[in-house]
């Protein structure tokens, strides 16, 4: 059977680092409060000329170089983002053009912080359905541009950045020994919309709006949703937490990551954590974390890697893949 195998990875971050100390100068908060409640120590913030498309292009170029491919080798680009450069066209066509690519198809996908998991799942369906041989999957965000910088309950949490994977059709045997995506589990429930949303949009206010969140409510639901889709991935593949080499969670909050790992019996030595460096970069957080752990040699070819995320909507999902 056809499997969607990781052929390359890459990432791109804005030039500017913003530490918790700098945020102390903007709102009534402290480095100690932020670290203790979230694990975040710094985040990257896009400056003039840096946009979701420019960061996405950087991640795409890095992934192409890592794979030893050129844009001519790509059939489809999927960009997971909630912070597009424009309402339309899609950031994906912007990135396609920046790459000098004028063939194939490019589109955006919006599932907020679960966006990368939804995008990998979509790419896998395209590849296994025979619609594409190679898909460039990008998670790219500039959440700093939709934050209310006077709201200390949200502005301390998020950051900007982009990461990318190239998935390629390769023949597999149909067992969990195959490299590539082994299962994907996606969920959403719009009943939770008001708990995490942006209070603007083209068809409502005609403005971009700002991120609003009931942090405690999100926290309350997070661990249950994450364990739901991880257990579903184990069940679908007959694997267990013991089989995992790496858990690469969406990097929203250190306490959510620790709580989920504990509930699932996954030791923290097997969990990739980058929330301290990047903050919550929404759809970019998983590919940014993958880039760190694959670049430093932790994630190796053949490793069993579990991705999971939850976010606005709510949306939540997991992807189990062999690297």
Catalytic residue numbers read 113, 250, 280
Nearer to ligand COA, 145 or 152 (CB): 152
Residue 98 engages ligand COA in binding (rule: CB under 6 A) = no
Residue of minimal Cβ distance to ligand COA: 215
Among 2, 22, 24, 29, binds ligand COA (CB under 6 A): 29
Number of residues that bind ligand COA (CB under 6 A): 18
Count of CA atoms in the C-beta half-sphere (13 A) of 155? 22
Q: How far apart are CA 150 and CA 74, in angstroms?
A: 42
Among 97, 153, 170, 237, binds ligand COA (CB under 6 A): 153
Could you tell me which residues come within 8 angstroms of residue 315 by beta carbon, excluding any fewer than 6 positions away?
111, 112, 113, 114, 118, 186, 187, 188, 309
Residues 105-144 that bind ligand COA (CB under 6 A): 113
Residue 311 engages ligand COA in binding (rule: CB under 6 A) = yes
User: Around Cβ 237, how many Cβ atoms within 10 Å?
Assistant: 15
Among 17, 24, 37, 98, binds ligand COA (CB under 6 A): 37
Residue 259 engages ligand COA in binding (rule: CB under 6 A) = no
Nearer to ligand COA, 37 or 263 (CB): 37
Residue 80 engages ligand COA in binding (rule: CB under 6 A) = no
Q: How far apart are CA 26 and CA 250, in angstroms?
A: 27
Q: How far apart are CA 53 and CA 60, in angstroms?
A: 10
Taking CB under 6 A as the binding criterion, the range among 97-105, 149-157, 264-272, 289-297 that sits at the site for ligand COA is 149-157
Among 156, 225, 247, 284, binds ligand COA (CB under 6 A): 156
| Shortest reach from residue 25's CB to ligand COA, in Å | 13
Nearer to ligand COA, 66 or 251 (CB): 251
Among 17, 22, 33, 209, binds ligand COA (CB under 6 A): 33
Nearer to ligand COA, 67 or 211 (CB): 211
Looking at the chain, which runs of residues are DSSP E strands?
2-12, 16-19, 42-45, 76-80, 105-109, 134-142, 160-171, 180-188, 196-198, 211-213, 246-249, 304-311, 315-322
User: Contact at 8 Å (CB) between 305 and 166?
Assistant: no
Q: How far apart are CA 34 and CA 43, in angstroms?
A: 12
Angle formed at CA 227 by CA 252 and CA 230, multiple of 5 degrees: 100
The continuous run of DSSP H or E covering 228 comes out as helix 215-237
| Shortest reach from residue 132's CB to ligand COA, in Å | 29
Q: How far apart are CA 207 and CA 314, in angstroms?
A: 22
Burial of 100 (0-12, 13-18, 19+ CB in 10 A): exposed
Among 216, 242, 265, 296, binds ligand COA (CB under 6 A): 216
Binding positions for ligand COA, rule: CB under 6 A: 29, 33, 37-38, 113, 152-153, 156, 213, 215-216, 218-219, 252-253, 256, 280, 311
């Amino acid at each position: 059977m056809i499997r969607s195998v990781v052929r390359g990875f890459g990432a791109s971050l804005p030039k500017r680092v913003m530490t918790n100390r700098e945020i102390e100068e903007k709102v009534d908060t402290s480095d100690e409060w932020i670290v203790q409640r979230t694990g975040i120590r710094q985040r990257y913030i896009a400056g003039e000329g840096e946009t979701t498309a420019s960061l996405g292009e950087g991640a795409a170029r890095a992934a192409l170089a890592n794979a030893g491919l050129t844009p001519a080798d790509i059939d489809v680009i999927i960009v997971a983002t909630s912070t597009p450069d424009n309402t339309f066209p899609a950031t994906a066509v912007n990135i396609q053009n920046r790459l000098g690519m004028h063939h194939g198809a490019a589109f955006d996908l919006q599932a907020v912080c679960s966006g990368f998991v939804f995008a990998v799942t979509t790419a896998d369906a395209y590849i296994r359905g025979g619609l594409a041989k190679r898909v460039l999957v990008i998670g790219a965000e500039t959440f700093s541009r939709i934050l209310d910088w006077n709201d200390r309950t949200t502005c301390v949490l998020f950051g900007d950045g982009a990461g990318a994977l190239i998935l390629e059709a390769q023949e597999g045997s149909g067992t969990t020994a195959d490299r590539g995506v082994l299962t994907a589990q996606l969920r959403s429930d719009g009943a939770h919309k008001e708990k995490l949303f942006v209070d603007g949009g083209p068809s409502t206010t005609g403005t971009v709006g700002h991120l609003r969140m009931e942090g405690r409510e999100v926290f309350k639901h997070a661990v249950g949703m994450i364990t739901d889709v991880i257990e579903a991935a184990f069940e679908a593949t007959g694997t267990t937490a013991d089989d995992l080499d790496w858990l690469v969670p969406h990097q929203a909050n250190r306490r959510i990551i620790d709580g989920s790992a504990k509930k699932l019996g996954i030791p923290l030595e097997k969990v990739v954590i980058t929330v301290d460096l990047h903050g919550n970069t929404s759809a970019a957080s998983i590919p940014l974390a993958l880039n760190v752990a694959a670049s430093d040699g932790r994630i190796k070819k053949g490793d069993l890697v579990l991705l999971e995320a939850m976010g606005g909507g709510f949306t939540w999902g997991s992807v189990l893949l062999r690297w």
